[in-house]
Structure 1
């Protein structure tokens, strides 16, 4: 049983004593974005080495990261509700939720950059192949 400052039972105090369990969800969402970012960088390195990869995985990874970002936004919004109710818990969790959101956003931007770079390399290779085919056809 959790008591507030006046010594009365507080359901909110009890709920907030377990908020760290809810916060693990935000960490997991950030890890999902991290894994997608790492996968995109690995795919980019493979493309740069000349390996062929399907671009559908890029789209799936971006959509997954966007959904994870939506979950983080929802968590930040919920945190705003908690901030309206209790200044004490707002001070405790604000920096944590902001850190997770900022790190996830940076990872998402990195992911987008590497997808764009990878698609640029794929497009250049495709254009080179078209040029080679067109040259062979014009020579015959």
Structure 2
């Protein structure tokens, strides 16, 4: 049986990085205005922001996602000849494409959400998965 070796500090770092990528992604510096418009809400509607529970659950979800990415990277990184950071990005992309983009697109379509909202939300996860893949592959 294959023995899994993951770096839990790297997992924590990628979860924190993903969390902060989200803070930047949904800030006025990047996509806040477009995201608000795509949700059909106003600035006043979201003025209070998310609560502690939402942030805590989001961080736990990023820890889980980072752990799963680390396991996939650990399993395959020694089986290929490409640079580790490229393999990490590849795993991040494949996980995003197969598990995040495809499934969230289904949910968005049936919920009749605007495509722009799906692009913004799934784009955030893509960037976070690519960066997480690099960190986890290089810092094993």
Instruction: State the TM-score, normalizing by the size of structure 2.
Output: 0.31
State the structure with bigger RCO (CA 8 A, min sep 6), 1 or 2: 2
Query: Bigger radius of gyration, 1 or 2?
Result: 1
Instruction: State the TM-score, normalizing by the size of structure 1.
Output: 0.31
